Structure 1
């Protein structure tokens, strides 16, 4: 099947993050087996979602990983000019949810997969397709945890996020925290008899604002914009009516950390403030929604040189968005980000990839594998 055929099939599965993914993961596994790979489906803790790991060639030797996620963000059909889950061509553009982010790369990998053994007869080529990346890289840790039982430790990984085939060597890490504060309701005329949850949460919000300001004066990494780690409150809710003392407030907080800074560690001042609320009688709970580390590949690393040659473009030091690359790097596998399509089209109505970009993506995959075979 061509990359366009594969993309049409992938988009048609409507593999929205957070949903059972047996149809898309099973189909991808079958395609890789048919191409000659040894394939393992790795069940996640949810019980209804699976990663796919495939190896072409001698798994006992060091090889390279081609990695991408099978899930996409939701799409409202009313916002699109065509069905978001039916690949639709208009003027050379292929419209569909995930066409750029990042089913296009998966389609290219599957199109070239039947050639992998011939392109790299002595070194293995691994394919790693994950689930629920869009929810904070939730699926790939289960795959990475199994790697040592599936193959010799790979020497590098290419994460095919849409970069217009521009190699990217770094990104910030991220942690997302959900907080809930519960107080005591009552009539607003007697605030002395209640415990206002919004007022309590305001103390947490102040901590977020103070910490965000302090981070601007903390460690910096000049390749990023902004150059420092960041924190923000992204969602806030609470209360029923102006004359009712609110007994519940909730907030979602995000941090993005430069390389060398632990994203979860940046949340310490906020967690300290929560402890203070408990001492005042509030019932407080919190949960880490997602977390992944930053990544940074040295400009002179052999993987950077290989991918630059395969893409025909120099690498860029860093981008603002995050990927699964940080988790591979933390596991000791040097990683780089490079794939067809454009991140600027992602998560928007009428997302698309062009036929030329798909063709360039298949050529890129072929070049990466053939060059890695000679190392």
Structure 2
């Protein structure tokens, strides 16, 4: 199968974030096994989600490169899809389907290039990494990286294949997401003094998030290569209450923080967490905080050898920085230089009629094969 045929197989597996990815991992493992490439499954604590890692060449040799892609996709609930999102449709050069560009296109190129990798006498290995639940805040990758020292000698670098039009991205923001659950005391709305309104309590948390966001907009720190050039905080989802005449006893809020490189996203959560503790100590509320996800930013130096390599094999100058986040920051935190470089445009992701071009698949596969040539 070529990359387009593999992509059709991958798109047909609805590996939606937060659900089991066993079927797609089985497909990838089977594809590799048919070509005598052994692989290792790294299970996550969820019990139904798995990372997969394989090496072509000698895994005990240091200085190889990791090609990294995630297996999950966002849901396809948009009403404006013009075809089945989980059946790849061709419209001219467009290949339409959920995950076509984010990022099963890159994964299909990884697999399509395997026969070419196997034909070469690699002096340094190529490692293939497939993760789960990247779309939920890179939840799967930390478990894979934890196992990496036992799976291979230290790699020289990593290419994370998110869509960047095959231009190497060197920097992106870090992120954390949290859920705050507040419990007050229910009662009839005619006697508010007898209850404890959880939504009113959560309003103080929202005000804190709003004020912290405004402070960072005014005071920074700033990094002008990003848009916006500062760290950001946002209240994203809120739920609570049952009826207008009932004092709400429960309220839940999901929020996120995106931090410029050099700023720990968790450190920006401190004021919000302190506000929650005050409401518990002084306001009588019970407040629980759950960290949903957290990953660091990416900040690769322009003179890192991986930058020159990525520019050379892609034939394109690097793209500097992007606003979205990836698993590349986790590789860098683990001591592995990383760039983000993959086929297609991120603007097509997470929307109806997501697509990648056949020519973009061909370009990506050619770049991966040029990388393998550098390792011979």
Q: CA deviation at 1:79?
A: 2.9
Give the conservation status (yes or no) of the 8 Å contact 1:180–1:251.
yes
**More displaced 10-residue stretch of structure 1: 112-121 or 195-204:** 112-121
CA distance in 1, matches of 2:340, 2:77: 29
Give the conservation status (yes or no) of the 8 Å contact 1:176–1:252.
yes
What residue number does 2:266 align with?
264
CA distance in 1, matches of 2:14, 2:46: 19
What residue number does 1:369 align with?
372
What residue number does 1:301 align with?
304
Q: CA deviation at 1:214?
A: 1.5
Q: CA deviation at 1:119?
A: 3.4
Give the conservation status (yes or no) of the 8 Å contact 1:66–1:157.
yes
What residue number does 1:277 align with?
279
> Runs of 4+ in structure 1 displaced over 4 angstroms?
none
| Shift in CA distance, 120/250, structure 1 to aligned 2, threshold 3 Å | farther
What residue number does 1:37 align with?
37
* TM-score, normalization by structure 1: 0.97
CA distance in 2, matches of 1:264, 1:320: 18
Give the conservation status (yes or no) of the 8 Å contact 2:122–2:372.
no
Q: Deviations over 1:252-272 (max 9, x none)?
A: 111000111110110000100
Give the conservation status (yes or no) of the 8 Å contact 1:36–1:56.
no
Give the conservation status (yes or no) of the 8 Å contact 1:77–1:84.
no
RMSD (CA atoms): 1.2
CA distance in 1, matches of 2:215, 2:78: 42
Q: CA deviation at 1:77?
A: 7.2
CA distance in 1, matches of 2:121, 2:277: 56
Q: CA deviation at 1:78?
A: 4.4
What residue number does 1:229 align with?
231
What residue number does 1:26 align with?
26
Q: Does 1:79 align with 2:89?
A: no
* TM-score, normalization by structure 2: 0.97
* Equivalent position SS for 2:163: coil
| Shift in CA distance, 310/120, structure 1 to aligned 2, threshold 3 Å | farther
* Equivalent position SS for 2:146: helix
Give the conservation status (yes or no) of the 8 Å contact 1:179–1:285.
yes
What residue number does 2:94 align with?
93
How many residues are treated as equivalent by the alignment?
Answer: 373
| Shift in CA distance, 71/308, structure 1 to aligned 2, threshold 3 Å | same
CA distance in 2, matches of 1:119, 1:104: 23
Q: Deviations over 1:261-303 (max 9, x none)?
A: 1101100001001111112211111100111000111111110
Give the conservation status (yes or no) of the 8 Å contact 2:208–2:275.
yes
What residue number does 2:104 align with?
103
Give the conservation status (yes or no) of the 8 Å contact 2:41–2:51.
yes
Q: Deviations over 1:145-182 (max 9, x none)?
A: 11110110111000000111111001000000101111
What residue number does 2:159 align with?
158
* Equivalent position SS for 2:169: coil
CA distance in 1, matches of 2:239, 2:47: 31
Q: Does 1:320 align with 2:320?
A: no
| Shift in CA distance, 140/147, structure 1 to aligned 2, threshold 3 Å | same
What residue number does 2:178 align with?
177
What residue number does 1:347 align with?
350
